Amino acid sequence: LLAAAVIVGLVFRAQEVRGRRRTAHVDEIPRPDDELDRPLVALDDVEALAARGLFAEAVHLLLERVLAWVAAKTEGGLPAAMTSREVLREADLSPPVHTAMEELVVTVEISLFGGFPVERGAYERCTASYARLETALRRRR
């Protein structure tokens, strides 16, 4: 796991040196009117995992979907090797979007890399953070 993290870091740094890094003003991307009533990401699977008590998996899936949405809305996409922490650092996110997304990132990091369980309360904080993230992005329209 440590070797993989080092390799990912080296790949990212190589891209950075070559000037291939791309950032986006994610919170400034207009959305078509037909998308205004739908969530940014599909939540059915996330909610199904949580209903089964699989809160860590639910939060991880929620973060993956948010990151996929950010990548899709970023001109030229995001480098495949970019970690969620790097997306937080490199993407041009407004403070409310950054703060809301950071809650998801930290919870997943603590769970995946720290081995700590995600309880219902942490899951609920993450879904509240997602709701704030979505609200902040919609206000920018």
Q: pLDDT tens across 2-48, in order?
A: 666 666 665 555 555 444 344 444 444 444 444 445 567 788 899 99
- Residue 141's pLDDT band, with cuts at 50, 70 and 90, is very low
Q: Is 28 left (phi over 0), alpha (psi -120 to 50) or beta?
A: alpha
Q: What are phi and psi of 118, to 5 degrees?
A: -105, 115
Give 32 or 138, the one with higher predicted confidence.
Answer: 138
Between CA 10 and CA 4 the distance in angstroms is 10
